Chains A and B, each alone.
Chain A
Amino acid sequence: MWKVNLKELLDDTDVQDPTDFPPSSTVPGLRDLDGALRCNICQELYEAPVVLTCGHCFCSLCARNQLGEKPACPTCWRETTISSIRVNPTMEEAVTAWKDARRFVLHMINDTLNGQTKAIEASRPTKRRKPNARPSGVVPDMVSHQRRSGRSDVGSSDDDAEREMAMSSGTPALGSNSSIECPVCAKSVPMTMINDHLDSNCKYHSALSSGKIASSSKSGQKDAWSKLLNGTRSGKDKEKHEAEVDNPLPKASYTVLKDKQIRDLLAAYNLSTTGDRPQLIARHERWVALYNANLDRSPILRKRPAELQLEMRRWEEDRRGARKDPLKIDITEYRRANKAEFDKLIQRARVNPVHGSPKQPNSPKTLVVESAVGSESGPGPASDRWKRLKVAGGGGGETDAIVVDSDPEG
C-alpha cells in the first residue's frame, strides 16, 4: 500500500521556504534572496549567524552541533573548530530586516500577480516607498542612534505610513498628538513634552502609560532602544556585569570531572541533575552549545536564561522520545528475537572445536561422534541435545566418554 500523505503532514505548519516566492522568471531575485539568507543546515533564516574560517555562514547552534560531530565545514569540508567560530552581525541585521519585510513583500507580490491590471496602480506607490522606508522602519536602532540629535525622527510620519501599510491587520498607530516613546529611556512621553523630557535627562514628563504601547513592533523597538543604550552606557558596575554575562561557557573536560562535579555545573544553571553520566554530559554539552549560541546574537536579540532553560526542557523531551525510536535497536529484544539463531551458532561452535582438535600433543586420538548432533531436531532437554562423544584412544584401546555438558539457557 503506497500512498503519499503530504497534505496531512504539511497542513498544520508554517513552513516557510524560498519557494514561497515565484521563480526568477516571474519575479527576479527574491527567491534567491530568501535562499541566501537561510542556513544550509536547518534551512531557516539565520539565527545568530556565524562564519567559519572558510567564510561559510551558518546558525550558531547549527554550526556548534555540526562541529561537535565533525570538525570541518559541512559545505567545503575545510577543517575548523568551535573556538574559531566568529559572529556575523551584518548578516544578522540583514536577516532581521528581511524577516520584517518578508510577509509584506509576499503580500505585495501576490496582489500584483493576482490582479495584474487592477492592483498594479495601487501597488506601485508602495513599491517605490519600500527602499526608502525600510532602513528607517526596520533598523532604527543603528541609524537613529548615530544621530541622536534628530529626536523627532522617531515615529515620524514616513515611518508610520510604512507600518500602516505593512500591517494591514490594523495595529494601533501612534497618534502624533498623543504620547511618543522617548528614544533614550523608552518611556512613553507626551509629544509636546518630549524636548523637555530629553533635556532633563529623562527625569520629567514620562507618561508611564505602558498600556498605550500595544503594537508588538513598537515594544520590540522599545526593548531595542533600552538594551542598545544600556549596553553602550558606561559605568563601572554596568561594564563588570555585562562582561560577566557575555562570557561564553568554557568547554568542560568531562573525563577529569566526577559525576558530582558535572551535576554542580548543571545545577549552577538550574538544569536537571538526574540521569546517568552519559545523560549528564550530553545535557551539559547541549547547554554549553545553546548558551554560547545565544551569545552570538546581538544583545538586543538575545534570549533570557528562562527561555533557554525552556528550550533545554524541550530538548530533554525529544531525547526521551528518541530513545524509543525504532532505529535504536533494543539489545535484549534483539537477543530474544534471534535466540534460535544464536542457539544454533553456539551449538555449532561448541561441537566444532572437539571435531577439529585431534592435534592435541602426544595423543593422536581420533574423535568419533557417536551419533549425529541433533541440532536441527527441535527442542528438547539440553542433556538430550548434546550427545556423548566417544573418543577412541590411539593404541591402548581404552575409551573415554566425554559428556559435553551444555546449557544453552544459561
Chain B
Amino acid sequence: MSVVYSRRLKKELQEIQIEQADPAKRAAGIQLLQAEDLKTWYFSIEVLGESLYKNEVFHLMVRFDPEYPFKSPAVQFVVSDKVKPPVHPHVYTNGHICASILGDDWSPTLSVMAICITIQSMLASCKKKELPEGNDDYVRTAPDNPKKTRFVYHGDSV
C-alpha cells in the first residue's frame, strides 16, 4: 500500500469519525456504515428535508485505487435485495453514477466526504425521477467498475 494512499485514507477516516461523533459537525444524512480496510468503504445517504427522495435511504460503495488521491475512487450505489439505487437521471439501475467529479473533474484536494456531499446534493436538486437515457443498454454492457466507463458529462442541469 502506498504511503500517501494509506496515510491519507486514515486521516480521512479519522476526520469522519470525529465529525460523526459531533452532531454539530456531522453532514446530515450521511453516515459511514463500514470501513474494515482501506479498500472499500460503505456510506448510507439520505436526503433530509423536502425532496423527491424523502424517506429513502441509499447505500454508497466507495472503492479506492492505490493511486488515490491522484486517481478518483470508484463510487457507485449498492444494488441488493435490501437497498436499491435512486431513480435519478444520472444514476443507472446497476448503481453506476454519471458525475464529473468522479471522473474528469476529480481533484486530489477533494475527499470522500466531498463526494458524498456532492452526490447527496445531486439527489436533493433532482426535479424529476427518471432513469438515464439508454439505461438498459448501458446496464447490459457496463463493466463491473464504473471507472472503466467513459461518461460524457452534460452540465449540471438535472
Interface residue ranges, A against B (CB under 8 Å): 2-6, 9-10, 13, 15, 17, 19, 40-44, 62, 65-66, 69, 74-75, 77, 314-315, 318-319, 321-322, 325-327, 329
Closest to B2 in A: A318
Q: Contact at B11–A75, with CB atoms within 8 Å?
A: no
Q: List 11 A-B contacts (CB under 8 A).
A: A3-B36, A4-B34, A9-B35, A10-B14, A17-B15, A43-B11, A43-B12, A69-B70, A74-B108, A75-B107, A322-B66
Q: Contact at A44–B7, with CB atoms within 8 Å?
A: yes
Inter-chain contacts of A329 with B (CB < 8 A)? 143-145, 148
Give Cα A5–Cα B71 distance, bound, in whole angstroms: 25
Q: Does B50 contact A (CB under 8 A)?
A: no
Q: Does B142 contact A (CB under 8 A)?
A: no
Given A17-B14, A42-B7, A43-B11, the answer on whether A4 and B35 have CB atoms closer than 8 Å is: yes
The count of residues in chain B whose C-beta lies closer than 8 Å to any C-beta of chain A is 39
B8 CB contact (under 8 Å) in A43, A66, A322: A43
The minimal Cβ–Cβ distance linking A90 to chain B, given in whole angstroms, is 22
The minimal Cβ–Cβ distance linking B140 to chain A, given in whole angstroms, is 10
Inter-chain contacts of B65 with A (CB < 8 A)? 322, 325, 327
Give Cα A314–Cα B3 distance, bound, in whole angstroms: 9
Give Cα A3–Cα B41 distance, bound, in whole angstroms: 10
Given A75-B109, A329-B143, A329-B144, the answer on whether A5 and B66 have CB atoms closer than 8 Å is: no
Main secondary structure of the interface of A (DSSP, over half): loop
Given A2-B33, A6-B17, the answer on whether A15 and B74 have CB atoms closer than 8 Å is: no
Q: Does B131 contact A (CB under 8 A)?
A: no
Q: Contact at A62–B108, with CB atoms within 8 Å?
A: yes
Q: Does B58 contact A (CB under 8 A)?
A: no
The minimal Cβ–Cβ distance linking B14 to chain A, given in whole angstroms, is 6
Q: Contact at A74–B109, with CB atoms within 8 Å?
A: yes
Inter-chain contacts of A325 with B (CB < 8 A)? 39, 65-66
The minimal Cβ–Cβ distance linking A128 to chain B, given in whole angstroms, is 32
Q: Number of A-B pairs whose CB atoms are under 8 Å?
A: 94
Inter-chain contacts of B147 with A (CB < 8 A)? 327
Given contacts A10-B13, A75-B109, A322-B67, 17 further A-B contacts (CB under 8 A): A2-B33, A3-B36, A6-B13, A6-B17, A10-B17, A13-B7, A17-B14, A42-B7, A42-B8, A44-B7, A74-B109, A77-B107, A321-B1, A327-B63, A327-B65, A327-B145, A329-B148
Closest to B59 in A: A2
Q: Does B42 contact A (CB under 8 A)?
A: yes
Query: Which of B4, B15, B32, B143 has most chain A Cβ within 10 Å?
Result: B4
The minimal Cβ–Cβ distance linking A234 to chain B, given in whole angstroms, is 39
Give Cα A49–Cα B108 distance, bound, in whole angstroms: 16
Query: Which of B36, B107, B148 has most chain A Cβ within 10 Å?
Result: B107
Q: Contact at B2–A5, with CB atoms within 8 Å?
A: no
Give Cα A69–Cα B105 distance, bound, in whole angstroms: 12
Closest to B31 in A: A4
Inter-chain contacts of A66 with B (CB < 8 A)? 70, 108
- Interface residue ranges of B15-61 to A (CB < 8 Å): 15, 17-18, 32-39, 42
Give Cα A9–Cα B12 distance, bound, in whole angstroms: 12
Inter-chain contacts of B18 with A (CB < 8 A)? 19
Give Cα A326–Cα B37 distance, bound, in whole angstroms: 13
The minimal Cβ–Cβ distance linking B112 to chain A, given in whole angstroms, is 12
Q: Contact at B69–A41, with CB atoms within 8 Å?
A: yes
The minimal Cβ–Cβ distance linking B78 to chain A, given in whole angstroms, is 11
Inter-chain contacts of A6 with B (CB < 8 A)? 13-14, 17, 35
Closest to A77 in B: B107
Give Cα A77–Cα B145 distance, bound, in whole angstroms: 27
Cβ-closest 6 pairs across A and B:
A322-B66, A40-B109, A74-B107, A41-B108, A318-B2, A2-B33
Give Cα A314–Cα B2 distance, bound, in whole angstroms: 8
Give Cα A77–Cα B12 distance, bound, in whole angstroms: 23
Given A4-B34, A69-B70, A329-B145, the answer on whether A19 and B4 have CB atoms closer than 8 Å is: no
Q: Contact at A318–B1, with CB atoms within 8 Å?
A: yes
Q: Contact at B34–A2, with CB atoms within 8 Å?
A: yes
Inter-chain contacts of A42 with B (CB < 8 A)? 4, 7-8, 69
Give Cα A283–Cα B66 distance, bound, in whole angstroms: 16
Closest to B44 in A: A2
Give Cα A43–Cα B11 distance, bound, in whole angstroms: 8
The minimal Cβ–Cβ distance linking B80 to chain A, given in whole angstroms, is 12
Q: Does B127 contact A (CB under 8 A)?
A: no
